[in-house]
Amino acid sequence: MSRDTGDNLDRNQSGNLPMASVMDTYLSRRTVMRGSLGAAIAMIAGTGLTGCFDSGGGSDNDSPSTPEPVKLKLGFDSIAGSRTDACVVAAGYSAYVLAPWGTPLNSNANPWKSDGSNTSTDQANAMGMHHDGMHFFPINGSSDDGLLAINFEYIDAAALHPAGPTTDGSGKRPVEEARKEINAHGAGVVRLSKVSGRWQVVDNDPLNRRFTTVSLMDIAGPLRGSDHVKTKFSPAGTQCRGTNNNCGNGYTPWGTYLTCEENWPGIFVNTATRPADQVRIGVSATRGQYRWETCAGDASEVDDEFGRFNITPSGASATDDYRNEASTYGYIVEIDPYNASTLAVKRTALGRFRHEGCCPGLPVAGKPLVWYTGDDSNNEYLYKFVSDAVWDPADATPADRLATGAKYMDQGKLYVARFNADGSGNWLLLDVATATTGGSTLGALFGDLPGIIINTRGAADAVGATPMDRPEWTAVHPVNGDVYLTLTNNSARTADKVDAANPRGPNRHGHVIRWHDSDDQLSFNWDIFVFGANAAGTADINRSGLTELNQFASPDGMSFDSRGVLWIETDNGESTLTDYTNDQLLAVIPTDLVDAAGKQIPVNAQNQSALRRFFVGPNGCEVTGIAFAPDNKSMFVNIQHPGNWPYNDVATDATPAGATVRPRASTVVIQRNDGGEIGTA
C-alpha cells in the first residue's frame, strides 16, 4: 500500500495476543524472569531462530534431496542514498523510462498531454495512474518480446485533471472527471518488444488492454451465485463490474496474472447501519473517497455506473439495489494476458480483505498448489490458500488457462497464520467446523463458507491469528521454497502489545520475516530475516546492524529473481531515513548468509554488507513493483507518485532546478551496460 493511499487505521479490535501462553511456556522452560520478557522477545527475533534453517533454507522435516542452490555473488557495490528529482542506479547500469501514465495502448487514445486535458476515453485506452505490482510474461519464451501485466493502484487527482478535481455548488463531481478517475484505476496488459537493445511499447497490439473499475468480470469460487454478491446488475450473483486499488500482484504456474484488490473500501459509502464485514474492512459511513456516487442520476449514466458506489440499501431486496456491490470487491483477480477475448475472474476462495500480493509457492508434481497473501493494514493477518487439486505439470501449458485457474483456485483451503514465540507457527483453517477462541465455531458465527469468506478478517480474529505489522508482499525462494514477507511498519502497535514476530512497538521501520512450511501445510518454522532501521538508531532499533550504505525503512514490494537474489523495495515515511534518501531497491542473497555450521542466519552486524542498495528513486516517490525478463538481463521497476519527474525518457536525468513537470508514474527499465545479468557478478 502506498503511504499516499488508504487511511492506515487499525480496525482490528479482536485483542488477539495468541502468543501469550506459548511465550509463558518458553520463558518458564528457560527460567527467564518475567521482568526480562522484552529482552527474551528481542533475543528470539534477533538471533533469527537459526536452527530452523539449514543452508538450503529448509526446516527439520525437509527432504534430504533438496537441491543445493547455484552459488551466486552480487556484482555491484552499494550506492549512497539520493535526494534528487532523478533515479540513481549502481555503477555499470542504465535506467530509462518506459510506458508512463497516459501512454496510449491503442488508436482510441490520444497522445498524453502535459496539461492534463486528456479525456476519460483517452484514459480508458492508455496506461493508468500510479504503477504498482507487475509481472513479465514472455512471448514464446523470449527475453526480447513479451507482455507486461501491471497494476494501477490509485490516482493523484491534482495531476490527473488540468486544475485538479472539482465539484459543483451542491458538492457533486463532474461526470467526465469521475469517469477519467475510474478509468485511471485498475490493471492493464501491454505488449513490449526490445528493439536495438531497448524496450518499447508495441502500439495497437491486439493484446494491449485495460481493466478498470467498470470492466465486466466473472465471479468464481465459493461466492459465485451466493446471496452475498447478488445485485441489481447481476441478480444471479455470477458477474460484477471492475477492480480497484490494485496494489501487489502474483502469477500462476499456467501463465496467468493475479492482481490484488487492496484499498478498495474507500470508493463505497453506506449511510445506513453497516453490516459487520463493512465496518471491519473500512467501508465509509459518510461519503466515498472520490465522491463518484454523487454523479448518480446524470443523464449520461449507464447501468448505474455511479449509483452503485452508494451501497445504502434502497430497494426491497439485494437485487433491487447495490447493497452487495462492495461484497464483489476484495479478492484476487485472475487475468489471462495471452487472450484478450477473456474476462477477468475474481477468485473468491482466496479470501476477501485488502489483498497485498499473492505469491505462489513452488509447484511440485502430485502436491497441492499454495499462494501466500498479506492484508495490508495495521495489525492484520497473513493468509495462504492451498488447492484441493494436486499439481499436474501438464497444466503448465493448458489450452484454456482460466479453466486451469478454476481447477486450482476455486476449491481449496484458506488458512491464516499464528506465529508462536518459540519459532514455530500454525496455519489455522478458516472453515465452518473450525473452533474459535471463544468456544464457538466459524460456522456458528458466519454460517457457511461464503459467509466466512465475506468476513475473512472477522474469521481470522475469531480463531486467534497473529496481528502483524502491516503484512505486504510475499516472495518465495525459487530453489528451497522459503517464504519471505515484508512487514512495512505499524505505528499503532504499542510497547505492551509486542510479540516475537512483531517485537518493536511502535514499529516505524518495519522488518522482513521468513518461514518454511511443513509438508502437510499445517505448520511452519520462522525467523526474522532483517530489521529496517536507520544506521544511527539505538540497539533496539538497529537490530540488524545496518550502515549508511544499506539503512532502510518500510520494506514493501519484494521479489526473488529466478536465480535466488532477493530484491526489496521501500515505501518509507520515517523521517530519519527520508532525510537521507528517497525510496530505494536493495538486494541480498539469503543463501549466502550462513553460520559456521552451514545454517542460514538473518542479516546481522557481521554480515550486513551482503545487503546492498542498488537503486534509488526520485523525490517524493515510492519504488514498487518488480519484474524480470527470463534471462535476468532486464529488470522492470515501477516509480509511483514522483514529485517532479520524469523530465525525459532517461530515468537518471534530473529535472533541472527551477523546472516543473506534471509528474507521471512510470516503469523504469534497468539494464547492465555490458549486457550481462542484473545484479550478479
Asked whether the predicted pLDDT for residue 57 surpasses 90, the reply is no
pLDDT range class, residue 67, cuts 50, 70, 90? low
Cα–Cα dist 362/483, whole Å: 10
Strand-strand pairing, 198-201 and 186-195:
antiparallel
Residue 665: C-alpha distances to residues 154, 517, 621 (Å)? 11, 37, 9
Average the pLDDT over 590-616 and give the result. 97
Cα–Cα dist 29/505, whole Å: 26
Asked whether the predicted pLDDT for residue 70 surpasses 70, the reply is no
pLDDT in the model for residue 93: 98
Q: Residue 659: how many CB atoms within 10 A of its CB?
A: 10
Contact 150, 100 (CB under 8 A): no
Rg of the chain over all Cα atoms, to the nearest angstrom: 24
Cα–Cα dist 656/643, whole Å: 13
Residue 88 grid cell: 540513481
pLDDT in the model for residue 3: 62
Maximum CA extent, the chain = 74
What are 316-339's pLDDT values in tens digits? 999 999 999 999 999 999 999 999
List the beta bridge partners of residue 160.
none
pLDDT in the model for residue 53: 62
What are 538-568's pLDDT values in tens digits? 999 999 999 999 999 999 999 999 999 999 9
SS3 of residue 308 by DSSP? helix
Cα–Cα dist 435/429, whole Å: 9
Asked whether the predicted pLDDT for residue 638 surpasses 60, the reply is yes
Residue 70 grid cell: 547455484
Asked whether the predicted pLDDT for residue 425 surpasses 80, the reply is yes
| Residue % of the chain over a pLDDT of 70 | 90
pLDDT range class, residue 363, cuts 50, 70, 90? very high
What are 524-543's pLDDT values in tens digits? 999 999 999 999 999 999 99
Average the pLDDT over 38-63 and give the result. 40
Cβ-count burial of 578 within 10 angstroms (0-12 exposed, 13-18 middle, 19+ buried)? Answer: middle
Residue 372 grid cell: 501466500
pLDDT range class, residue 25, cuts 50, 70, 90? very low
Asked whether the predicted pLDDT for residue 43 surpasses 50, the reply is no
Asked whether the predicted pLDDT for residue 217 surpasses 70, the reply is yes
Asked whether the predicted pLDDT for residue 397 surpasses 60, the reply is yes
Q: What is the per-residue DSSP string for 275-305?
A: PHHHHHHT-BSS--SS-GGGGTT-TT--TTT
Cα–Cα dist 332/358, whole Å: 8
Asked whether the predicted pLDDT for residue 40 surpasses 80, the reply is no
Taking the CA of residue 409 as centre, how many other CA atoms within 13 Å lie in the half-sphere pointing to its CB? 31
Cα–Cα dist 486/218, whole Å: 31
pLDDT in the model for residue 78: 98
Torsion 360-364-365-366 (CA) sign: negative
Asked whether the predicted pLDDT for residue 214 surpasses 60, the reply is yes
Contact 556, 486 (CB under 8 A): yes
Asked whether the predicted pLDDT for residue 80 surpasses 60, the reply is yes
**What is the number of helices (H) and of strands (E) in the chain?**
11, 31
* Sequence-ordered list of residues with C-beta below 8 angstroms from that of 504, at least 6 positions apart, any chain: 493, 498, 511, 531, 540, 541
pLDDT range class, residue 19, cuts 50, 70, 90? very low
Average per-residue pLDDT for the chain: 92
Residue keyed to cell 441478480: 235
pLDDT range class, residue 129, cuts 50, 70, 90? very high
Contact 616, 87 (CB under 8 A): yes
Average the pLDDT over 175-187 and give the result. 98
* Sequence-ordered list of residues with C-beta below 8 angstroms from that of 350, at least 6 positions apart, any chain: 221, 331, 332, 358, 371, 373, 383, 385, 409, 414
Average the pLDDT over 270-288 and give the result. 98
Asked whether the predicted pLDDT for residue 63 surpasses 90, the reply is no
Lowest-confidence pick of 41-45, 243-247, 497-501, 596-600: 41-45
pLDDT in the model for residue 12: 78
**For the whole model, what pTM was predicted?**
0.92
Three-state SS sequence of 387-436: EEEECCHHHHCCCCHHHHHHHHHCCEEEEEEEECCCCEEEEEECCCCCEC
pLDDT in the model for residue 427: 99
Q: What is the per-residue DSSP string for 592-659?
A: G-B-TTS-B----TTTGGGSEEEEE--TT-EEEEEEE-TTSSEEEEEEES-SS--SSSBTTSPPPTT-
Residue 369: C-alpha distances to residues 195, 252, 393, 420 (Å)? 37, 10, 11, 25
Contact 557, 521 (CB under 8 A): no
pLDDT in the model for residue 245: 96
pLDDT range class, residue 14, cuts 50, 70, 90? confident
